[in-house]
Structure 1
Amino acid sequence: MKIGFFDSGIGGMTVLYHALRLLPKEDYIYYADTKHVPYGEKSKADVRKYIFEAVDFLVRQGIKALVIACNTATSVAARELREKYDFPIIGIEPAVKPAILKSQERGRRVLVFTTSLTLREEKFNNLVARLDEDHIVDGLALPGLVEFAERFEFSEAVVRPYLTARLAPYKLAEYGTVVLGCTHFPFYKDTMQTIFTPEVDIIDGGKGTAENLARTLQKTSQLQQGTGSVEYYMSGSKVQDPQLLQQYARLLERLHILDNLQAPISHK
């Protein structure tokens, strides 16, 4: 059986990348709800409806576990999904706790990049309230990055002016850690690093989510020896266009470069 990955678009591939590295012999099915992307600017009720439609589709394909590779979807529906289904469901949330620990040591603030809906969500605000005793966390919605990613637009010449404008009200020297609270955002780490000083840590939860998946499958004795294949679906339709599949492969290669790793990516 396959491991299901779900996101509103291509952002979840930043988590799939780490899963392919950690579990190269598993088989995957990746569902991008491109018909409804972006989730972050829609109502909570609509997003919940889209999520359950997508997960129901993945269940019909036969999955042994689900990774909600979307911060917004995790915030909106993870609890209800776990109540409905009996297979492991792994969510992702902004890496606020490690960011606070890092920044407190240096007397700096934390800046969380996220979507508008996540920023409004009770789950996210409760997380920050529980951890941020010194009130050093600020949040900023960056919906434009989701739109850029869905257009496969990664040029610094295009992305940097957007980020510069959105960050203009902030005193960047105050921040020690930037948290990427949307799975689309790691595609832009290189441009972000040109805006912040080198000592600023830019972190996301993708690798930790993949590690959680691996631990869960091992604990439930569901690890298997597959081929490392990935099937892609766009809102229920299987992706078979060779050009689009090649674009997906290039996205994984981009993540490989950004991660500055030497080992090859397992992807078939």
Structure 2
Amino acid sequence: MTIGFFDSGIGGLTVLEESLRRLPAQDYLYMADTLHVPYGTKPQEDVKSYILETVEMMMAEGLEALVVACNTATSIAVSELRERYALPIVGMEPAVKPAVEMNRATGKRVLVFATPLTLQMPKYYALVSRVDDGGIVDSLPLPELVHYCEDLQFDERIMSDYFRDKLSGYNLNEYGIVVLGCTHYPFYTNILRQILPSHIQIVNGNAGTIRRLSALLSRYGVAGGRGSGKVKFMCSSGDPAYIDKMRKALDFLYESNS
């Protein structure tokens, strides 16, 4: 079977890499909407039309499951995608609930990094309102970070300076967990570990998303993979250079997480 992974750019590769580790007997199609990346700074209705159009392109490839590997896209379009297509569809949400549960006994706060559009969505407010009964969650928009990631800007000095500037107004001793609420952001986990105090844990929703995918595949009776972890890359612009960029970015993740 083929499992589709969709994102505006290379961010969803962090989720795909998790799936390749946990579900290696599947085959994958990865689609990046390069015509419209990034989503997180664009109007909601425009982004929704981009998502529906690009997923339609993916469905022509004969998918048997779909992962919307983008928090922003999930908030905007996952409900409509589930109405349109009769196959397992898994979305993303920032890992706020597990972060709050992990921090409940420590008295520390939770800091969520996300795109401006994710933080503006009712789905995000509803999530925080539902799980944050102690008022310990703060949110930090990082609109530039997707651009850095899309440029494969992983220089330690440049990115450390960027994060230090963004965090300069925060007393990090008050925080116990940083949530990476955009799938692009885990590309910077190792750099963040070097600049954040050692007591701060860094979490994202990727592992939980792939656990949900695995459970959903079992429920649909398609859990037993017959593939070999092969990945086909596509992008909405059809740009061969971007296909090469995606391969390089996935290799970077393998090296970073090995």
Q: Is TM-score (shorter-chain normalized) higher than 0.5?
A: yes
- The answer on whether the counterparts of 1:112 and 1:138 sit within 8 Å (CA) in structure 2 is yes
Structure 1 residue 83: Cα displacement? 1.4
Give the structure 2 partner of residue 171 of structure 1. Answer: 171
Between the aligned partners of 1:18 and 1:214, the Cα distance in structure 2 is 12
SS at match of 2:110: strand
SS at match of 1:61: coil
Runs (4+) of structure 1 moved beyond 2 Å? 244-259
Structure 1 residue 224: Cα displacement? 2.6
Give the structure 2 partner of residue 231 of structure 1. Answer: 232
Give the structure 1 partner of residue 196 of structure 2. Answer: 196
Give the structure 2 partner of residue 152 of structure 1. Answer: 152
Between the aligned partners of 2:123 and 2:18, the Cα distance in structure 1 is 25
Structure 1 residue 85: Cα displacement? 1.2
Between the aligned partners of 1:71 and 1:5, the Cα distance in structure 2 is 13
- The answer on whether the counterparts of 2:35 and 2:237 sit within 8 Å (CA) in structure 1 is no
- TM-score, L = length of structure 1: 0.91
Written as runs of structure 1 = structure 2, the 5 A alignment for 1:94-173 is: 94-173=94-173
Q: CA RMSD in A?
A: 1.5
CA deviations on 1:54-82 (whole Å, 9 max, x unpaired) are 11111111101100000000011111111
SS at match of 1:25: coil
Structure 1 residue 141: Cα displacement? 0.9
Structure 1 residue 227: Cα displacement? 2.7
| More divergent stretch after superposition (166-175 vs 2-11) | 166-175
- The answer on whether the counterparts of 2:233 and 2:246 sit within 8 Å (CA) in structure 1 is no
Q: Which amino acid aligns with 2:124?
A: F
CA deviations on 1:2-40 (whole Å, 9 max, x unpaired) are 111100000000000011111112111100011101100
| More divergent stretch after superposition (14-23 vs 226-235) | 226-235
Tell me: CA distance 1:142–1:42, structure 2 relative to 1, closer, same or farther (3 Å). same
Give the structure 2 partner of residue 264 of structure 1. Answer: none
Structure 1 residue 102: Cα displacement? 1.6
SS at match of 1:55: helix
How many residues are treated as equivalent by the alignment?
Answer: 257
SS at match of 2:46: helix
Structure 1 residue 118: Cα displacement? 0.4
- The answer on whether the counterparts of 1:97 and 1:131 sit within 8 Å (CA) in structure 2 is yes
Structure 1 residue 251: Cα displacement? 2.4
Between the aligned partners of 1:236 and 1:90, the Cα distance in structure 2 is 24
- The answer on whether the counterparts of 1:14 and 1:187 sit within 8 Å (CA) in structure 2 is yes
**Kindly, what percent of the aligned residue pairs are identical?**
46
Aligned equivalent of 2:252, options 248, 251, 254: 254
1:213 and 2:216 matched: no
Between the aligned partners of 1:194 and 1:23, the Cα distance in structure 2 is 30
Structure 2 residue runs without a partner (length 5+): none
SS at match of 2:97: helix
Give the structure 1 partner of residue 57 of structure 2. Answer: 57
SS at match of 2:60: helix
SS at match of 1:92: coil
Between the aligned partners of 2:19 and 2:110, the Cα distance in structure 1 is 27
SS at match of 2:179: strand
CA deviations on 1:83-127 (whole Å, 9 max, x unpaired) are 111111000100001101122211100000000000000000110
Between the aligned partners of 1:120 and 1:126, the Cα distance in structure 2 is 11
Q: Which amino acid aligns with 1:253?
A: D
Give the structure 2 partner of residue 93 of structure 1. Answer: 93
- TM-score, L = length of structure 2: 0.95
- The answer on whether the counterparts of 1:75 and 1:123 sit within 8 Å (CA) in structure 2 is yes
SS at match of 2:38: coil
- The answer on whether the counterparts of 1:144 and 1:162 sit within 8 Å (CA) in structure 2 is no
- The answer on whether the counterparts of 2:234 and 2:243 sit within 8 Å (CA) in structure 1 is no
Structure 1 residue runs without a partner (length 5+): 262-268
Structure 1 residue 236: Cα displacement? 5.5
Between the aligned partners of 1:256 and 1:46, the Cα distance in structure 2 is 33
